[in-house]
Structure 1
Amino acid sequence: MVSGFDEFRKELRRRFPSTGAGSEPLAFARAMIEHAQEYRPLVRVLIGKRSGQVVQNRFRKLIVELVQEDLAGFAPAGPPRDAMVHYIAGAFLELLAWWLDTRTLLDASELEELFHRFTKPILHRWVPGTRNGTKIR
């Protein structure tokens, strides 16, 4: 099962390569949300309270790696970027879990929009150059 996360990560990166200057950070979010929507019952079990700690940790690590790769080209390395990566990854994971658990009427695009709306102020504050020239939803 854990190897399935590695394959999923490769597929996401094939579709949404790590970002660089002038591109959109966190573009993987839409594909991740759509995947969760398509496989909702399975994903709920995988990241829900009843799943094993190993699976939850691996999924969290996957999200952290994706965010870290996306922000590597935007923010200088160091503790502030590391903290921001974990903050954003945690927010994404909790938002996804909330969406799956509550059966809200929001569709994937609306959830993605919320994620980017909530994340935008953080990126503007901490990532140099995102106010001008870098596309952030």
Structure 2
Amino acid sequence: MNSIQEKRKVFSRVIESHRNCQVFISNEEKQIYNIVSTSGLSWKEKSYKWGKIFVGTNRLRIDLDYPVSLFNEEELKKFTQLSLKKELSNKNRYSHINPTVEDTKHDVVRIILYKTSYGSMTLHHHRFVQCFKKIINANML
């Protein structure tokens, strides 16, 4: 199994270790996974989905939705130890985040991990786990 799929499995296990969180494949051909709450969301009434995972050939993309104003860009950089997309000149080579903050309905952090640049980075890292826990706690009913 390739290292991108391994990172996806690790991320899924971290999310699913929390009560009321599930990760399941929604499009096998395109390797897209949905992240859902089994108990509902604090900021969304009609859907239980609060994230997606996209597995590509050379990158893993994780989109996590959460209530508006939970984080600012600097806090997300600190938690993930990744640069903002807008700070990079070569966006298609280096792992980074591309957040949407202060939106009207919900905010999103898009984490893009390139196979060539994530090296020893681990999704079990204390700050990543802290970030995930904060998002999960803010999302769950």
* TM norm structure 2: 0.31
Structure with more helix by fraction:
1
* TM norm structure 1: 0.31
